[in-house]
Amino acid sequence: MFTPAELLEIKALLTPENKIVILTHYNPDGDAIGSTLGLKHYLRAKGIEADVLTPNDFPKFLKWMPDAKKCVIGEYKRKVASDLIREADVIFCLDFNSPSRIGILGEWLTKAKAKKILIDHHQQPENFDYVYSDTIIPATCQMIYHFIEAMGDEGLVNKDIADCLYTGIMTDTGGFRFRSTSATTHRIVAHLIENGADPSIITSNTWDTNTISRMRLLALILGRIEVVNDGKVAVMYLTRKELQEYGFQKGDTEGFVNYGLSIAGVRMSAFFMEDLYEDFIKISFRSKDDVDVNQFSRKYFQGGGHINAAGGKSNDPLMETLEIFKEKIASENL
Ligand code: 5GP
Ligand code: MN
């Protein structure tokens, strides 16, 4: 948490007169949208309005969240986004820790005069004015709750805040399953439910909204999932042509990588997908226990993230990338 002195300074910055912007990472997920909107609704409960900015668009299954449709999406509204960042007095950076993770917004963020406040749970944070970084906490949404507590404002948690924070905790813990899910996480979730979050509605809105294209893409990748390295590593992929043929929609492949990890004996799962528009491969890694995919992705695939969940990319063709990946995991002795 921020130190008591930092909290006092932050309190002084959070006034209705100051322009406040809340940013999150490229390809926003449930935790990114949940934490930014959760913070926005908390500030609103204090009588302060803020703008939420995302670098690019996010999936439909996150658009039910209160105010989700009011987010400024940088790729569609470049001028509005750059003006907001330039004129901001305070910028909250949530669920990412390096300007390189926010696409076109990164350059504007670096130049901005605003005080920059980081709240994030990824490894190796870069420089910000105020840093609350904790890699043990499973979701940035949980950190927003701790921040609200530290501000002495637990009593302000309303249904809007609760819905948003519940969603991010639920998605980033894989439905309260991943190992960083703690008793504290569950205590917070209990408080969110007491304040209006409805688990069955949130689950249904977020997870029971599969598109037919998603189901068919899932069938395709499960049908050819490969297990290598003595059964320890699962590999999956999708080509651009397949995405086009199956009518891919944003968010369709979210969570696919987890299926690899559900195979008995598998300690690491990797999912490779050709980008729909640009010539690169987006990679997702998931792992169990002490297999560190953050380090692995940083070392070989221009990425990073958490010990057990990381992303990366490759500029080589897909089949070559798969071969390189298999060589690297063999050499790392996973
Ligand atoms: P995903 O596989 O869901 O895209 O990403 C898994 C985790 O790794 C997320 O927490 C995400 O923020 C992080 N991540 C994904 N791609 C990158 C990347 O290129 N660089 C870094 N540093 N983190 C990433
Ligand atoms: Mn997160």
Report pLDDT for 150: 98
SS3 content of the chain, % helix, strand, coil (to 5): 45, 15, 40
User: Dihedral (C-alpha) 326, 327, 332, 334: value to the nearest 10 degrees?
Assistant: 30
Mutate-to-test residue for ligand 1 from 56, 93, 94, 101, highest number of ligand atoms within 8 A of CB: 101
Total structural domains within the chain: 2
Indicate whether 152 and 247 sit together in one domain: no
With 0-12 / 13-18 / 19 or more C-beta atoms within 10 angstroms meaning exposed / middle / buried, residue 295 is middle
User: What is the position in ligand 1's atom list of the atom closest to the CA of 313?
Assistant: 19
d(CA 190, CA 194): 6
Mutate-to-test residue for ligand 1 from 23, 27, 29, 102, highest number of ligand atoms within 8 A of CB: 29
This prediction has a pTM of 0.93
User: What is the position in ligand 1's atom list of the atom closest to the CA of 27?
Assistant: 4
Report pLDDT for 334: 77
Indicate whether 109 and 228 sit together in one domain: no
d(CA 240, CA 215): 17
Report pLDDT for 283: 98
User: Ligand 1, atom 2: nearest CA belongs to which residue?
Assistant: 284
* % the chain with pLDDT above 90: 96
pLDDT category, 53, cuts 50, 70, 90?
Answer: very high
Indicate whether 43 and 143 sit together in one domain: yes
Report pLDDT for 178: 87
Indicate whether 66 and 179 sit together in one domain: yes
Indicate whether 266 and 303 sit together in one domain: yes
Residue matched to tokens 């670096």: 110
Taking the centre of ligand 2 as the mean of its atom positions, its distance from the CA of residue 121, in whole angstroms, is: 7
Nearest to 255 by CA among 267, 273, 277: 273
Q: Which CATH number belongs to the domain containing residue 114 in this structure?
A: 3.90.1640.10
Domain end, chosen from 170, 191, 207, is at 207
SS (H, E, C) 285-313: EEECCCCCHHHHHHHHCCCEECCCEEEEE
Mutate-to-test residue for ligand 1 from 123, 173, 258, 297, highest number of ligand atoms within 8 A of CB: 297
pLDDT averaged over the chain? 96
d(CA 180, CA 137): 6
Domain end, chosen from 167, 183, 207, is at 207
Q: Which amino acid is at 11?
A: K
Please name which ligand lies nearest the alpha carbon of 309. Answer: 1
Indicate whether 98 and 243 sit together in one domain: no
Taking the centre of ligand 2 as the mean of its atom positions, its distance from the CA of residue 311, in whole angstroms, is: 12
Indicate whether 8 and 59 sit together in one domain: yes
User: Ligand 1, atom 20: nearest CA belongs to which residue?
Assistant: 303
Please name which ligand lies nearest the alpha carbon of 297. Answer: 1
Indicate whether 187 and 250 sit together in one domain: no
Pocket of ligand 1 (CB under 6 A): 25, 101, 284, 303-306, 309-312
Q: Which CATH number belongs to the domain containing residue 268 in this structure?
A: 3.10.310.30
Phi, psi of 233 (to 5 degrees): -130, 125
H or E stretch covering 260: helix 256-261
Domain end, chosen from 170, 192, 207, is at 207
Indicate whether 27 and 173 sit together in one domain: yes
User: What is the position in ligand 1's atom list of the atom closest to the CA of 283?
Assistant: 2
- Per-residue pLDDT for 333 more than 80? no
**Containing structural domain, residue 168:** 4-207
Taking the centre of ligand 1 as the mean of its atom positions, its distance from the CA of residue 304, in whole angstroms, is: 6
Indicate whether 218 and 137 sit together in one domain: no
Reading the block at residue 146, the tokens are: 């701790």
Indicate whether 49 and 170 sit together in one domain: yes
Indicate whether 76 and 198 sit together in one domain: yes
pLDDT in tens, 115-160: 999 999 998 899 899 999 999 999 999 999 999 999 999 999 999 9
